[in-house]
Structure 1
């Protein structure tokens, strides 16, 4: 007698979110996904005023680089890096960024 192939699926059902989370974890894409979520929700997290003065934003090696076109705002955000990091951690999750550089 031949044995039937047993598919390695979970026996229980899962939600789409759980399945997506499992896929991201399996392909080691969690960090990239979280970083893109951070970049796309920058305006929501920081507000319209800061978002309108942000000319460039990117993440490299868990460092968030934010380029602004307003010198007073640069100074203000440089003094508020801990607050920005806590907002990001609350919205996106802990460990997405380790440092913030305001340019």
Structure 2
């Protein structure tokens, strides 16, 4: 009896498991924090106290009202940069607190 099977890379198997489960939400929440730090730089990070992603909305808690106002003018650009870094659209809206 001959076995028919197809060899697959572990990466593709894990990606299928993640895409078809609720793990993706948690992984995106963890990844968004590192992507935010990388893309926004150390100055903005020093004023960022909390980042979370819920239902395609990114919530960012900032300790500086001046920075919050400055970033509010560039929300569209920030969304575009972060989505490009992810390689897919995961953010539709940003709420700065």
- TM-score above 0.5, yes or no: yes
Q: Mind listing any 5+ residue stretches in structure 2 that lack a counterpart?
A: none
Out of 5, 14, 17, the position equivalent to 1:20 is 14
Greater helix share, structure number:
2
Quote the residue 2:5 is aligned against: 11
Q: Mind listing any 5+ residue stretches in structure 1 that lack a counterpart?
A: none
Residue 61 of structure 1 pairs with residue 45 of structure 2? no
Q: CA RMSD in A?
A: 2.1
TM-score normalised by L of structure 1 = 0.78
TM-score normalised by L of structure 2 = 0.82
Aligned length: 96
Cα distance in 1 for partners of 2:27, 2:87 equals 11
Moved over 4 A (4+): none
